[in-house]
Structure 1
Amino acid sequence: MRKSQIGALSQAYRAGRSGVEQPEVASPENRTGEWTVTTTINARAILFDMDGTIVDSTAIVERVWGRFADTYGVSLSTILGDSHGIKAIDTIRKYGPTGIDAEVAAADLAAFEIGEIDGIVEIPGAAVFANSLRPEQIALVTSAPRELAILRLDLCAITVPRVIVAAEDVEHGKPHPEPYLNAARLLGLKPADCIVFEDAAAGIRSGIAAGMRVVVVGELDDPVTDGLPRIPDYSAATVDQTADGLRIVLG
């Protein structure tokens, strides 16, 4: 992707728009997580977020940030309400005490997370769904460090994609479009060829700003999800190979 294209999409991100046409959803109540319609989407690749999208790490995330909050005397509820889908170092810079070395604190947090594996499970159906894709049809786009991402995928029996864009691979994390733009570039695809599966507001904004269509996973209640297709988990989704790529059926 040319720098001029990335620049234009970055401007769209700052303006809060992308111009991308999202899949139509007939149900006005799509934020409830209840499907009343079937949506079919054609694409060449699926770009997955990790935590909350294909991996359920909720219990561990709360333990990790609880330890950070206790150590530095910050509000756990505030962090949990604003950190999902965002690089840990960005959260630390925002909420950590004055003078904190954010890089050291982020490295300590990541090391602690690596040792916390109890409670890691797949989002129902995620492994079968993701593992049915060819290497050129899938990417992982996560705000977690690469080592942690690979560990969690292995624990959930999800094949590690050839293309991973992790926290250390980008200058600007979600909600900036850079992570998803990088994934499309590494796959050799245009943003319009890609479908993003996301559960967090920051990630949804990142995908839309990158010029991609977005599917919401889970029950996020946020205006950014208005009009977007949604699944509660992968029991409500199928994917088939076509001559042109993928046919994804939701609902």
Structure 2
Amino acid sequence: MIELRTPAEIEEMRPAGRFVAEVLTRLSAEAAVGVNLLELDAIAHQMIRDRGAVSSYIDYHPSFGASPFGKVLCTSVNDAVLHGLPFDYRLRDGDLLSLDFAVAVDGWVSDSAVSIIVGRERPEDRRLIDVTSAALDAGIQAATTGSKVGDISAAISAVATAAGYSINTDFGGHGVGRTMHGDPHVPNDGRAGRGFPLRPGLVIAVEPWFLETTDEIYTDRDGWTLRSADGSRGAHMEHTIAITDDGPIVLTARG
């Protein structure tokens, strides 16, 4: 079911968005050569406890997950692009790291993701991240009252295809509210003018993710982490936004 939020409810959602942004900013600064993925998860876990927030991940067990997730943060490294389950791995120079984080604050959820390069950059990784970020910006700009979900999808895919990246539509954006995942689904490829109409009060996560040379993925043996079929690297960007008559509000904007 698709729910529309009142202006007052959108204001109530702002603290969750600010907290998610704060955590991702902190983790991006902490992610350095030699830092363990489990250390990043522990930092996020402590920040959740200190804030009195509730993790949207730790007990999450959808049909595509092998078991409850068990961690509070997704850490996807290099050929991993989504749902990366933190494990005993120390970041290396040149790693491409995607961080995805969602919590509830006072009953309202926000969800966001960012990709960064640890240490020295590979030009191919910088381009992939920049294109994914540009696709996120384009999707948000298309999220205006009177448009359709397909307009967001088309804006994202236009950026990706112009850069030569193919698009997987198995996973994409989604509604956000009292729970992390709700309707409508917001695919990263679609036709402009199609789909659910964007109305004031609709809160969604816009979530482009691309792989360098494929759109095929498989699930790692951990039962969660999604990796590219050909070993190429991936990038993932996401913001939770609210549709208003005055344009989209990015609830998870960082700095």
What TM-score range do you get, normalising by the shorter chain? under 0.3
TM-score (norm 1): 0.25
TM-score (norm 2): 0.25
Higher helix share: 1
Higher relative contact order (CA 8 A, sep 6+): 1
Higher strand share: 2
